[in-house]
Amino acid sequence: MSKPRLRFAPSPTGYLHIGGVRTALFNWLWARKTGGTFILRIEDTDQERSTEASRAVIFESMKWLGIDWDEGPSAGGEHGPYTQMERLPLYKQKADELVAAKKAFRCYCTKAELDAQREALKAKDPKAQFKYPGTCRTRTDQPDLPYVVRFMTDRSGSVRYVDKVFGEITTPNIEQQDFVLLRSDGVPLYNFGAVVDDMMMGVTLVARGRDHMINTPPQIMLYEAFGVKPPEFAHLPMMLAPSGEKLSKRHGAVSVSEYSDTGYAPNAVLNYLARFGWSHGDQEVFSKEELTQAFSWEACGRGDGKFDAKKFLAINHEHLKTDKLMPSDEYATRTLPFLEKRGVTGTDAAALKRALYTIRDRATTFVQAAEMLDPFFREPPVMDDKAAEKFLVKDAAPRITGFRDALAKASEWTEAALEASVNAWLAESGLEMKLVGQPVRVALMGRTASPSLFQVLFVLGRETSLARLTRAAETAASR
RNA sequence: GGCCCCAUCGUCUAGCGGUUAGGACACCGGCCUCUCACGUCGGGAACAUGGGUUCAAUUCCCAUUGGGGUCACCA
C-alpha cells in the first residue's frame, strides 16, 4: 500500500484556533508516523472573510508549533497551487465535466428566489426544512444569466462509510439536496472545492473535526460521480469550552499566538492537544517524538471534551521542568525575549542558562521564568516597597551585616561553602535562619519570594551579593 | 424539529464480560522548608436511567434522558 497523504486545510479568516491546530496535529502525527505526506492547503474561497494577514498568521503559528508541511504554500509540490483561489480554472473544469455527464446542472434560480421560497415554507410550517425543489434540473436552455452549478443528487439509498474513529456511519440520501458546487462567480463552495482538491492532490485520509461529519456523505457522492475511490475519513470529537459551548475567544486564550505570547512551549501545546481526545494508557506527558511514535486513530475517543486551561498550564509546567523535554539552551533562548520585554537588557542566553537551575522547578511559563529571573539581571533589583518596609527594618540591619560578613569569610563562593559559613555564624550568634532569611532575601532580590538563598548568592556572585547586602543594611539602619 | 454523533470522578482519560473501577489536572489535609515553589505522603470524588443478552455487565443490544454537530451561492 502506498504512503498515506494527509492535509490540513484552514481558512485564513482570523487567528489559528487551538481546535484547528489539534486536527492539524493529528494529521501531521499520522503522516510522520507512517512516513506519509502532510499537505497544507489554504481554503480562501470565502472572500468576505479571508485576509492576507491571517494567511500569514497560519504560517507563522504552524512554524512556531513545529508542524511542518511537505507540500503547500512556500513548500511547493507537484499538485499545486495549494491555495484555492489560485485553482479556480480547475474547479470550473471539474464542474463542467459533471455537467457534461449529466451529474450536475446549471441552476438559474437566484438566491433571492430561493430565500423567498424558504421563507414561504417556513411561514406555512415552521418545522419544515427547505430543500432545493429541483427547478432547473431538466432545464435545457442556457439563457445569458448568472447561474450556479448544482449537483444532481440521487436522493434514494444511503451513503455508508467506515470512519476511522467513529466506525460505521450511514446517512440516508433523502437528507441531501442538489447542493451547489460552483457559485455564480465561479468560486467553489466548500464541499466541491475540498473534494476536487483532495482528489487531485491524492489525499488518502481526511481527518477533520466532527463538525464536518455532515459534509462527508455529499463528498462521497461527489467522488462516486467522478468515478474516484473516496479517501478514508477520520472525524475528531470536538473541543468545547468549559461551559460546553463552542470554544471561542470569549472563553480565554484560543489562538496559537496567545500561547506563544504567554510563554508556552510549542511541544507542550502539542502535548496537551494530543492528549485531548486521544490517550496512550496512563501516560500524560509526551515529547513530540513520543507522540508520533504512539499516535493511532484507534486510541482516539469519541466523546466531545471540554478545554481545561489549568491542565494545559500543568502540562506546560511539566515540559519546562524537564530538561529532556525542554533543553536548557532552548529554555534560555526562549526566555530571553520575555526578559527583554521587561526592560532587562545587556544579558544573554548564556548568562540566563547559568541561572536557570534556580527556577526550573518553579516557573510554569517562560513569562513567569522571566519574572523570576529578573532580579538576577537587573542592577539594582526592583525593590518591592512593601517587602522593604516589612523586612528592611532597623532591627534587621545587624543581621544583614552579620550574614554579609559570614559570606565574606567563606572559603570559596560555592553554595556549600557559603551555607557552611552562614551556619557557623548562626550557631555562634544564636540566630536562626528563619529570622535572617527574609531580610536577606529582600536585600538580595528586592522581593519576598525567590529561589533558595544560597543558589541566589551563587548565581549573583560575590561582588554583586555583597554590594546588595551592604546597601540594604544601610537602608535598614537608616529607618 | 429532521438527520448524524456522543455518554466513566468537577475536567482530560484507562477499562475492550469477572477490577477494592486505575492515572493525570483541579480540590482538601500532612510532611519537607530560609520565602515562594518543587517534591512527597494521604483524602474526598465517576460507570446517566430503564429494559434486555449472559452464570456474570462499566463493558454487548434496545429504549429513555441528557449533551453536541448540522440543515447557505460560510467553511
Q: What ranges in A409-479 are assigned the alpha helix state H?
A: 415-429, 433-445, 453-460, 462-477
User: Mind listing the pLDDT tens digit for each residue in A113-141?
Assistant: 999 999 999 888 888 889 999 999 999 89
Q: Which are the contacts of A178, defined by CB distance < 8 A and separation ≥ 6?
A: A105, A107, A132, A134, A137, A150, A151, A152, A153
Per-residue CB contacts under 7 A with strand B, chain A residues 6-65: 9, 11, 43, 45-46, 48-49
Contact, A187 CB vs strand B, < 7 Å: yes
Angstrom distance, A165 CA to B53 C1' = 26
- Tell me which DSSP letter residue A238 carries: -
Q: What percent of chain A has pLDDT over 90?
A: 95
What's the average model confidence in pLDDT over A461-467?
97
Q: Output the furthest CA–CA distance in chain A (Å, rounded).
A: 108
**Cα gap A327→A350, rounded to integer Å:** 13
- C1'-nearest nucleotide to the CA of A170: B4
Segment A346-364, tens digit of pLDDT: 899 999 999 999 999 999 9
CB of A69 within 8 A of CB of A75?
Answer: yes
Side by side, the strands of the sheet bearing A148-151 are: A104-107, A148-151, A180-182
As a whole-number percent, the residues of chain A with pLDDT over 70 amount to 100
> Which residue gives the smallest C-alpha to C1' distance to B14?
A281
Query: Quick one: average pLDDT of A58-69?
Result: 98
With a 7 Å cutoff on the CB, does A302 touch strand B? yes
DSSP state of A303: S
- The answer, yes or no, to whether ipTM is higher than 0.90 is yes
- Residue of A63, A111, A249, A394 marked catalytic: A249
Do residues A322 and A427 lie in contact, with contact meaning Cβ atoms separated by under 8 Å? no
Q: What amino acid occupies position A202?
A: G
pLDDT digits (tens, 9 = 90+) for A415-458: 999 999 999 999 999 999 999 999 999 999 999 999 999 999 99
Measured in angstroms, what separates residue A426's CA from nucleotide B63's C1'? 76
Q: How far in angstroms lies nucleotide B46's C1' from the CA of residue A303?
A: 16
Instruction: Please say if the pLDDT value at position A240 is more than 80.
Output: yes
Residues 232-271 of A with CB under 7 A from strand B: 237-238, 240, 242, 244-246
Which nucleotides along chain B are within 7 A of a protein C-beta? Answer: 1-8, 10-14, 22-26, 33-39, 67-75
Judge whether residue A471 contacts strand B, using its CB and a 7 Å cut-off: no
Q: What is the pTM of this model?
A: 0.96
Query: Quick one: pLDDT at residue A293?
Result: 96
DSSP string across A120-134: HHHHH-TT-------
Q: How would residue A375 be classed by pLDDT, with cut points 50, 70 and 90?
A: very high
Which sign does the torsion angle of CA A416, A419, A425, A428 carry? negative
CA to C1' distance (Å), from A242 to B26: 13
Known active-site residue A249: yes
Residues A195-215 have pLDDT tens digits of 999 999 999 999 999 999 999
> How many residues make up chain A in this entry?
479
Chain A 76-95, CB < 7 Å to strand B: none
> For residue A1, is pLDDT > 80?
no
Given a contact cutoff of 8 angstroms between Cβ atoms, the answer to whether A319 and A420 are in contact is no
- Express each pLDDT in A145-173 by its tens digit: 999 999 999 999 999 999 999 999 999 99
Q: Is the CB of A126 under 7 A from strand B?
A: no
Q: Which of A29, A25, A19, A13 is nearest to A62 (CA)?
A: A25
Residue A347: predicted pLDDT: 94
